[in-house]
Amino acid sequence: MASLILQKKLGELSDRLKAKNITLNLTDASFKELLDKGFSPQYGAREIDRVLNSSLTPLLMHEILFGKLKKGGEAMIDFDGKELTVKKG
């Protein structure tokens, strides 16, 4: 159930990014990391919004404003074992 909620939230984010000509894609590792951080047995999937707003959204906004995604393109989100990273696809 938590993965469905995460997919829905990522879909909403993806729709917002389409206005900037950006396509959002995640590796399995990055999806799992977001899911692990956003789900707890005590609170369920309530933390997903917080995790997206604190880790993924700032990363994307930095790349849109100052980096690889200034002119749009494909944002490939990956997890390197320590942190989320953005690669232009």
pLDDT for 43 equals 86
pTM comes to 0.91
pLDDT for 1 equals 85
CB atoms closer than 10 angstroms to residue 12: 11
CATH second-level architecture of 2-88? Orthogonal Bundle (1.10)
Phi, psi (5° rounding) for residue 10?
Answer: -65, -35
Closest CA to 86 of 27, 4, 13, 6: 27
What's the chain's average pLDDT?
Answer: 95
Ranges of each domain in the chain: 2-88
89 pLDDT higher than 80: no
Handedness of CA 27, 28, 31, 34 (dihedral sign): negative
In this predicted model, what pLDDT tens digit does every residue of 29-69 receive, in sequence order? 999 999 999 998 898 888 999 999 999 999 999 999 999 99
User: Which residues lie closer than 8 Å to 33 by C-beta, 6 or more apart?
Assistant: 79, 84
